[in-house]
């Protein structure tokens, strides 16, 4: 990915290695397994309904419960296998046979419980399994990303109990078939708590029973199919802030915020913002899916989660610099992407997170203008990791797509940001008309589905379904697009080379995958799209032409920073003072990559590098993530223009270096060649060493042992002195 620009600078880079371990934001513990390959015994039945009865004991942090699981048998089986987290003990398992429940034997294998029917059940049969259990659910170590229960207190000391379980599964608190491919058609909950507390959960509240033992039992029912991890409890002395909203479909439904008493007034603003967000989503995606239930929001001690009809909210009522609550915008959108449109396996979870992250940016375009949208997308490029496929073909556990290998204790993030950038590039490729029609069809494939509120609007999707819809709308073959961006991790790169009267362009992809992506080029202020059907093209340029490649960063490709550089033809500069240095680098973007050649340094992957004179952070060091490392060798570094200029100004040890820059301002190649009538760096180095062996042998042995330069600030200063003395000797001083 090179461009036809070369210039020569007199500079050297002095490096010092540090062995500090890179501090990374870690969750501290890996989630439990949820999803993954589905075993035959669990594929043999289809869950119809969960009916959960549970009493919550706040002082003991304990749950005593009984769950009824109604299932249709779809393949012959004499086993009923379900999931329940290991802290719980199972009192008994029974199933309905003929006229009554019959207790059956069971065995545990970690979080999986194998219960054996009295006979083999056949396809077409229906039965209900009853499990009685009790225990202390695990306390969430890093909610909501690593889940469990939170047993907190409100400002007045009342109990505040919530759970979150996206990456772990709802088996953290009740018996369930813990796989995303099987959602119940409905859920009923009968939750008993101390009488001063309110239970907010999914669906609609059917009844509140006042018991004689100073408790209340809350009966909730969700009449739509629901993701398993969305079946949650929110327990506190909640106050309800409510408004009615009329959907674009014509139905009126309630928006209810279950707020702590001290948050009641602030909750009103969230409800007002939610109405604005609803109008945005209904404009682009169609009606709110759960109009016969409610749009619920529950205040939680963790950040938030898209629990259907009872969204977890814990952003402390803060607006960002753009004037709205980003968390509420994001989690509300998951009622479409994730709750209505659902991945049947965790491998396709980018459809939940990537589509919603795209909507987050689209809201900026809707409210702040196109440039705000483009800025948001450009800012996401540098955070892509590209370590695993966004949509692998193999089944995955939840933690494998949300978190980073090998230990899965820190976030990966590509199903969010990279997923949204893939849609951003798709929008560019097929155009707004086809893209937004496809986006609407991804939510509601037909107008008829927009009228349903009984669960028929919900559906499972795969990455292939996404491809099919956008192919139909664009009338384009998009197989190559999905193969490059979703089925493998590496990004394409644009290779630009100078040819006679212009440049040749070529897409470089892993394993030479086809990639006929057209590219926008701005030449002297005029923009045109260059067709690259075979992944190649040539453009003709006049001498001195000003050129931008993909100026708005529509195409997701290799390149750390988000702005483009202006291309120029060959020019040679000898940087001898600040003015000429700035002139030589005037075309650079604010950020770029600097690649080393002669000064590659072998390092442990957890090392730091300190670059002389660089102001990166309070301690002047460059973090591990700024390094470009291949085969345990530092090949380069991500840097900023001002820091690079500072290096040039402070270093007195000179070297003649030629750089080639790609269209993002990345130094993609570094060549040591002499300036006109000047020795090369190597020639100069050899002359200094030869002179020092004769005149400063002891000093040379210290700073140049075994013919290897030592690069740290102290040694650099000694090299400078040697160089100055050598130059004086040449001048006869």
What is the DSSP secondary structure assignment for residue 138, as one 8-state letter?
P
- Within a domain: 350: yes
Q: What is the mean pLDDT of residues 511-539?
A: 93
Asked if the structure places residue 122 within a domain, the reply is no
- Residue 486 CA to residue 463 CA, distance in Å, equals 9
% of residues, the chain, pLDDT over 70: 75
Give me the pLDDT at residue 720, please.
61
* Residue 686: domain span: 681-731
Q: Which helix (H) or strand (E) holds 594?
A: strand 591-595
Q: Are 255 and 244 in contact (CB under 8 A)?
A: yes
How far is C-alpha 87 from the chain's CA centre? 31
Helix 370-381 and helix 417-430, axial crossing angle in degrees, nearest 10: 130
Provide the pLDDT for residue 246.
Answer: 98
Which of the four pLDDT bands, split at 50, 70 and 90, describes residue 589?
A: very low
CA dihedral defined by 400, 401, 404, 409, rounded to 10 degrees? -60
- Output 66 or 610, whichever has higher pLDDT: 66
Asked if residue 703 is part of any domain, the answer here is yes
What pLDDT shows up at residue 403? 86
Coil, strand or helix at 731: helix
User: For the ranges 258-272, 316-330, 392-406, 668-682, which has the lowest average pLDDT?
Assistant: 668-682
Structure tokens at 111: 């979080």
pLDDT band per the 50, 70, 90 thresholds, residue 702 = low
- Asked whether the predicted pLDDT for residue 100 surpasses 70, the reply is yes
Q: What is the pLDDT of residues 544-556, one digit of tens each?
A: 677 788 888 999 9
pLDDT band per the 50, 70, 90 thresholds, residue 89? very high
Distance of CA 348 to the CA centre of its chain: 13
Q: How far apart are CA 388 and CA 400, in angstroms?
A: 10
Q: Highest-confidence range of 326-340, 403-417, 676-690, by mean pLDDT?
A: 326-340
Q: How far apart are CA 453 and CA 287, in angstroms?
A: 10
The pLDDT of residue 671: 32
Number of domains in the chain: 2
* Residue 414: burial class (beta carbons within 10 Å; 0-12, 13-18, 19+): buried
Q: For residue 476, what pLDDT is reported?
A: 98
pLDDT class for 126, splitting at 50, 70, 90?
Answer: very high
Give the integer Cα–Cα distance in Å for 53 and 166.
Answer: 21
Q: Say whether 164 sits in a helix, a strand or coil.
A: strand
Question: What is the H or E stretch that residue 474 is in?
Answer: helix 463-474
pLDDT of residue 709: 47
Any domain includes 629: no
316 lies in a domain?
Answer: no
Token pair, residue 101, equals 């429940």
Instruction: Give 640-693 pLDDT, tens digit per residue.
Output: 545 444 444 333 323 333 333 333 333 333 333 333 344 444 456 667 777 877
Do 367 and 281 form a contact (C-beta atoms < 8 A)? no
**Residue 429 or residue 690, greater confidence:** 429
Asked if 246 contacts 236 with a C-beta cutoff of 8 angstroms, the reply is no
pLDDT of residue 704: 60
Return mean pLDDT, the chain: 81
Query: Is 378 inside a domain boundary?
Result: yes
Confidence class of residue 98 from pLDDT cuts 50, 70 and 90? confident
> What is residue 630's predicted lDDT score, i.e. its pLDDT?
52
Please provide the distance, in angstroms rounded to a whole number, between the alpha carbons at the two ends of the chain.
47
Cβ-proximal residues to 64 (8 Å cutoff; 6+ apart), any chain: 54, 55, 57, 133, 134
Where is the domain boundary, 443, 470, 485?
485
Residue 367 located in a structural domain: yes
Q: What is the average pLDDT across 408-419?
A: 89
Tokens 């005593």 -> residue? 64
* Residue 691 domain-assigned (yes or no): yes
Name the pLDDT band for 515 (thresholds 50, 70, 90). very high
């Amino acid at each position: 990915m090179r461009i036809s620009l070369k210039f020569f600078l007199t500079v050297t880079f002095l490096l010092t290695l540090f062995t500090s371990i890179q501090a990374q934001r870690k969750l501290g513990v890996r989630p439990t397994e949820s999803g993954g390959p589905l075993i035959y015994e669990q594929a043999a039945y289809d869950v119809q309904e969960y009916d959960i009865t549970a009493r919550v004991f706040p002082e003991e942090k304990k749950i005593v419960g009984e769950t009824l699981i109604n299932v249709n048998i779809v393949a012959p089986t004499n086993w009923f296998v379900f999931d329940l987290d290991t802290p719980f003990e199972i009192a008994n398992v029974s199933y309905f046979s003929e006229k009554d429940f019959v207790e059956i034997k069971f065995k545990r294998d970690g979080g999986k419980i194998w219960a054996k029917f009295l006979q083999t059940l056949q396809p077409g049969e229906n039965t209900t399994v009853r499990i009685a259990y009790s225990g202390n659910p695990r306390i969430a170590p890093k909610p909501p990303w690593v889940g469990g229960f939170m047993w907190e207190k409100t400002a007045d000391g009342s109990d505040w109990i919530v759970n979150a379980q996206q990456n772990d599964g709802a088996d953290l608190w009740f018996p369930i078939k813990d796989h995303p491919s099987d959602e119940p058609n409905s859920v009923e909950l009968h939750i008993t708590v101390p009488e001063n507390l309110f239970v907010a959960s999914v669906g609609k509240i059917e009844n509140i029973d006042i018991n004689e033992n100073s408790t209340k039992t809350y009966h909730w029912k969700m009449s739509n199919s629901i993701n398993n991890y969305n079946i949650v409890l929110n327990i506190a002395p909640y106050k309800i802030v409510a408004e009615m909203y009329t959907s674009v479909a014509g139905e009126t439904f309630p928006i209810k915020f279950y707020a702590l008493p001290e948050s009641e007034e602030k909750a009103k603003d969230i409800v007002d913002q939610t109405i604005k967000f609803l109008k945005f989503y209904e404009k682009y995606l169609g009606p709110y899916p759960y109009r016969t239930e409610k749009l619920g929001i529950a205040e939680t001690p963790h950040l938030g989660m898209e629990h259907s009809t009872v969204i977890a909210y814990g952003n402390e009522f803060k607006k960002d610099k753009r004037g709205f609550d980003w968390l509420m915008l994001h989690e509300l959108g998951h009622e479409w992407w994730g709750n209505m449109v659902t991945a049947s396996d965790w491998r396709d979870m980018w459809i939940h997170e990537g589509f919603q992250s795209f909507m987050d940016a689209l809201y900026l375009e809707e409210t702040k203008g196109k440039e705000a949208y483009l800025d948001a997308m450009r800012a996401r490029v540098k955070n892509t990791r590209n370590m695993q496929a966004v949509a692998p073909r193999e089944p995955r556990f939840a933690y494998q797509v949300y978190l980073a290998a090998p230990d899965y204790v820190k976030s990966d993030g590509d199903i969010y940001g990279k997923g949204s950038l893939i849609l951003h590039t798709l929008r560019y490729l097929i155009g707004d008309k086809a893209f937004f029609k496809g986006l609407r069809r991804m939510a509601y494939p037909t107008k008829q589905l927009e009228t349903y509120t009984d669960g028929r609007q919900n559906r499972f999707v795969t990455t292939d379904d996404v491809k099919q819809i956008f192919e139909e709308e664009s009338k384009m073959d998009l197989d190559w697009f999905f193969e490059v961006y979703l089925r493998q991790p590496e990004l394409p790169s644009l290779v630009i080379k100078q040819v006679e009267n212009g440049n040749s362009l070529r897409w470089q992809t892993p394993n030479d995958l086809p990639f006929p992506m057209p590219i926008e080029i701005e030449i002297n202020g005029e923009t045109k799209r260059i067709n690259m059907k075979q992944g190649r093209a040539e453009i003709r340029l006049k001498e001195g032409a000003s050129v931008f490649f993909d100026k708005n960063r529509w195409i997701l490709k290799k390149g750390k920073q988000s702005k483009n550089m202006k291309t120029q033809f060959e020019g040679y500069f000898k940087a001898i003072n600040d003015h000429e240095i700035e002139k030589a680098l005037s075309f650079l973007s604010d950020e770029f990559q600097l690649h080393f050649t002669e000064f590659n340094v072998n390092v442990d992957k957890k090392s730091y590098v300190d670059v002389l004179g660089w102001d990166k952070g309070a301690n002047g060091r460059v973090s591990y993530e700024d390094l470009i490392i291949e085969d345990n060798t530092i090949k380069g570094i991500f840097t900023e223009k001002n820091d690079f200029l500072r290096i040039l100004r402070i270093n007195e040890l000179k070297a003649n270096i030629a750089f080639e820059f790609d269209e993002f301002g990345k130094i993609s190649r570094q060549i040591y060649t002499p300036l006109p009538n000047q020795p090369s760096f190597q020639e100069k180095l050899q002359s200094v060493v030869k002179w020092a062996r004769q005149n400063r042998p002891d000093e040379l042995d210290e700073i140049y042992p075994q013919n290897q330069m030592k690069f740290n600030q102290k040694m650099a200063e000694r090299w400078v002195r040697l160089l100055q003395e050598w130059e004086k000797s040449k001048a006869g001083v």
